[in-house]
Amino acid sequence: MRQSKQETTLNEKDALQDMLNAEKQIMTYYAAALTEGSCKAFRKEILKQYSAGAETQFAVFEQMLARGYYQVRPAEKMLIDQTAENFSKIKKQISAC
């Protein structure tokens, strides 16, 4: 069955979501390359690209947020405090080893 152009064209929301997913995937590749790299010059370049990728990913996220395509629920203070306490406990356990 042949699809029309309208059926194959992404709308704005889908295009931004696709871009966000791609940027997130690129970030995982940069992270893997950074942890596996053994040459300082290579690691420096990957870190530079990782930082640029993070900025691009955040810019896409901000566009989605501004257009109402990405919903963010503010964290409750109690949840933030509980999470910070949990990490503090884990840090103490690790330090004791």
CA dist., res. 25 & res. 17, Å (int): 12
68 alpha carbon, distance to own chain's centre:
18
Cut 0.85: pTM above it = no
Domain containing 20: what range? 9-96
Of the listed ranges 3-7, 60-64, 92-96, the least confidently predicted one is 3-7
Instruction: Evaluate whether residue 70 is within a structural domain.
Output: yes
The mean pLDDT of the chain is 90
Instruction: Evaluate whether residue 31 is within a structural domain.
Output: yes
Instruction: Evaluate whether residue 37 is within a structural domain.
Output: yes
Instruction: Evaluate whether residue 4 is within a structural domain.
Output: no
**pLDDT for the residue numbered 3:** 62
Instruction: Evaluate whether residue 55 is within a structural domain.
Output: yes
Instruction: Evaluate whether residue 1 is within a structural domain.
Output: no
**pLDDT for the residue numbered 88:** 87
What tens digit of pLDDT does each residue of 11-55 get? 999 999 999 999 999 999 999 999 999 999 999 999 999 999 999
Instruction: Evaluate whether residue 45 is within a structural domain.
Output: yes
Q: How many domains does the chain have?
A: 1
Cβ count within 10 A of residue 68: 8
